[in-house]
Structure 1
Amino acid sequence: MNIYRRITKVEKNNLMVKCSNDFNLNIDGKKVQSERDAIEILAKSFNIDDLQDGNWDALSDRLQRSNYIHPERINIFINNSKDLFIKDENSKNIFLEILSDTVSWWKEDVERYIVDGKRKTFNVYLLD
């Protein structure tokens, strides 16, 4: 389990080769400057079609549902992470907390709280 693990571009390239069969999502931190930006990127990437007017709670909820999160192994690479929500530290913290909670959910909580819940690998990597 990786939550906010900072990696270099070389490490990312090695992971991309090693995890070529995984669902690998690249997010450019420069393009995520608002709650709406973050929700749109993840909704589009995971084909979550009912988040048009979503908020942080709705995003968190959808990321923890197996009917939305289909891949068994997910790697999210946040490139230019230092530019993520550059003028909104509060939103940055909320977004990263949602991702952290999602990592924990798929690592262990899903089996604890969902009947027949199955673990998934959900990793988040930060690149500056």
Structure 2
Amino acid sequence: MNDFRKILHVEDDPDIREIAYLALAELGGFEVLQCASGMEAIEKAEAFSPDVFLLDMMMPGMTGVETIVAIRAQTSLKEVPAIFMTSKNIATEHQDEIRTLAVGAIQKPFDPVALPDQIRSMVAKSAS
């Protein structure tokens, strides 16, 4: 999956969404659909047909883990790689879920300039 181009980004914080969008769309050249909640992502995922999911791990209402589990259960997107974005403490607490459900995790705060290449690298490693 070296030529992936569509990322579905799920993040409840509007400032982080904006920074991530600029990094992914403007710097990375990706087509990005952003959702402010897990429920919104579930509603839009199949129609958008992303190549990668980028999900905040801790969101009100529905966590990133709950979101990706629901998307994979309800859509044809079972094989689409997922990457979580989270703080180091949360990533440490949820290592098993990250290993089971995702190709990796990106620690917040993240470097916007490095974000596109971090995602490319994680997806490339998972495909090999």
Relative CO higher for 1 or 2, CA cutoff 8 Å, sep ≥ 6? 1
Tell me the TM-score range normalised by the shorter chain: 0.3 to 0.5
Q: Which has the larger radius of gyration?
A: 1
Q: Given the two structures, how large is their TM-score scaled by the length of structure 2?
A: 0.34
